[in-house]
Amino acid sequence: MFEGPFGMMADRVRYSSKILARFIIADPTVRTYADIGRKAFGSKSTSLVSLIFCLELFTVAVALVTLYADSLGELHLPHLTSSTANRPLIETIAPAYPANFYKILGLIVFV
């Protein structure tokens, strides 16, 4: 239907979404990816699909922490003091700031 490499990907996404829609319409109790895996591959696949999904979420979380830690090192905020006017900004930045000292976090992305 579409042309080029992005068109091929778009066709695959469209095709897989139609398959998922059939699963969901056929059984209204299907609500999660684990339910879709159970419906497609049997009851033993539920834990595997859940494990893969949690692994993906963990990977995205590590990538975001690495991105934020690397970006935070480039911020120079000399005007910040511990006054109450800057408190919300400091409370937002402070939890991620210790990760900036561990430059090894940048290597986690490549592991």
Length, in residues, of the chain: 111
- Domain ranges in the chain are 55-108
Mean pLDDT of 68-82: 63
- Map tokens 């969901």 to a residue: 24
Distances (CA, A) of 90 to 69, 75, 77, 96, 99: 15, 13, 10, 10, 15
Q: What is the pLDDT of residue 76?
A: 60
What is the per-residue pLDDT across 9-56, written as a single tens digit (0 to 9) for each? 989 999 988 988 888 888 888 888 888 888 888 888 888 988 998 899
- Map tokens 């005007």 to a residue: 79
- Map tokens 């497609």 to a residue: 40
